[in-house]
Amino acid sequence: MTAPGTLPAGAPDPDRFAALICDWCLELTPGARVFVDTTTLASEYARALNAAILDRDGWPFVSCTPPGLNADFYRHARERHLSEPPAPELALAEGLDAFVRIAAPATRRSWPPSIRP
């Protein structure tokens, strides 16, 4: 699924990563509703996980936000934003069976030395 050369050398294979998440971490069953949350920096992994969830007859819901959006939230949030859970996120969470967060570093300096180009 992943085009060759789109990931740094030594990075985990997105399809194998997705299979590991679905089969070992989540133990997906048919009809499972899975929210995948990441940034656009991990789009290859999000696409692979989306496909793997569908292959296992689950319902993926993928959110790829631009890098820095969460940092902007904390920089601009007011007290009520920090103390009250947002109603739309609560409603979404109530309809889910599983949640996956893929953290992707924004700079190469934050990559582990083993996969730095």
Q: What is the CATH number of the domain that holds 83?
A: 3.40.1830.10
pLDDT at 4: 45
Do residues 19 and 45 make contact, with C-beta atoms less than 8 angstroms apart?
A: no
Determine, yes or no, domain membership for 74.
yes
Determine, yes or no, domain membership for 4.
no
pLDDT > 90 fraction of the chain, expressed in percent and rounded: 62
Q: What tokens does 38 get?
A: 């990441």
Query: Is residue 14 very low, low, confident or very high in pLDDT (cuts 50, 70, 90)?
Result: very high
Mean pLDDT of the residues in the chain: 86
Query: Is residue 68 very low, low, confident or very high in pLDDT (cuts 50, 70, 90)?
Result: confident
Provide the whole-model pTM.
Answer: 0.79
Determine, yes or no, domain membership for 8.
no
Query: Is residue 2 very low, low, confident or very high in pLDDT (cuts 50, 70, 90)?
Result: very low
Give the count of domains, the chain: 1
Do residues 30 and 54 make contact, with C-beta atoms less than 8 angstroms apart?
A: no
Determine, yes or no, domain membership for 79.
yes
- Give the residue numbers spanning the domain of 48: 14-102
Determine, yes or no, domain membership for 89.
yes
Determine, yes or no, domain membership for 1.
no
pLDDT at 107: 61
Which tens digits make up the pLDDT trace of 29-64? 999 999 999 989 899 999 999 999 999 999 999 999
Determine, yes or no, domain membership for 31.
yes
Determine, yes or no, domain membership for 112.
no
> What are the percentages of helix, strand and coil residues in the chain, rounded to 5?
50, 15, 35
pLDDT > 70 fraction of the chain, expressed in percent and rounded: 84
